Chains A and B, each alone.
Chain A
């Protein structure tokens, strides 16, 4: 409560017309509603005389209920009310110190959270298993995830089952296969038998893309190579020590391996699937239900950051913002090479690939379906999978469209799209057929 004896404090609401803030909010709500209703009526009856005749003929109540059945007044109102103050302001958001998390990290120093009335604490976390546990334990309110993780958690794979949602995809592309320098001459995956690779987590795009890649070259990832789970930050140290032959890992660690003279970039992940999702911004389903305004504010903050991150001319600035110890704790030049796509490959060449990393936030359902096909392919899920249902439950496409529209970002109209992975077409309508087309897979 404000102190009534403070000469600086104005009693009443911000606009001065009401006795208290609560009354102000209430009348604003009513105003919102009547503004929407007026707008709709005006659109239906451009001529006011017609409207009055119609209303006096059928009665206002009947008219309202008839028109409400056609117009979602409730939804329109909800949209207008979305800017209401968040229920919970102090939030803890977990992240792994990688460039995939750029949007949700930069939203802090750039004030995008503050702008939405949120006080966010970003918690650097040691590994993906901890990200999962801290979300399940409700120590974090929202989190940076690998995009397969909310699917796995919602299905209860590898953890207790809890409904978890993907609000936005954090980033697309931006990963790479990095090999130890001693393998300079062994660029053909067919020569990789017996190699040890690291991926950040089992339920990760890295794991699924690496498996896909070697399988397309005729190697069975379960028997011909060894894949071990290593936290991203420890990949470079392990590569340098020769514990692993390579990794499909998140940036900046691919570039860091080059920078430290430990490895070279074999291929970028966009060469496997251009536009693949990598990380996601996730929230528990409970938050959407219990604190819808907080959820909306958070959504807008992260989307604002994504919109800025997509623009190539901001990339150098972003690198500067997220490099300090509080966030990624990496040399700025390493981050800049990742984000701008002008980088040293570790073999003496300077490459210029502007779409090395991108931050398209739209959570395509087709991406989720592809992830599920690969989870089934490698035996992480057994039995029948209801691809569509899980995808549509976990990846929040409707919300993404709604909030993207509020920020005047273009969102695609479809939720499913065909795409190509290493030249092979994936049709999200026929996941089982797609799955059946692979020769190398874990036998059920």
Chain B
């Protein structure tokens, strides 16, 4: 999706934090939802390209995908939504309400030492 803009944004934050900590960033963990999702390959490529020549050049990027949950209106079961089978896993009802999709988050940064 919008991986280049995401790469630039997280790079900006990691560099600022690295300056503050006066340490080299080893890895960073980001997470995304299902509707608001990221493509792993594109994201890694965009981050690598953006990080070239910066303190983040060797920083490892970890991308977590958070499942989208929905609550069945019939049996109240909370289940993980699957676009290939959009129904409650318990009673197979197609009447359900989505819980909020996970936002794009920069969760943690790990520094050397």
Is the A/B pair a real complex? Answer: no
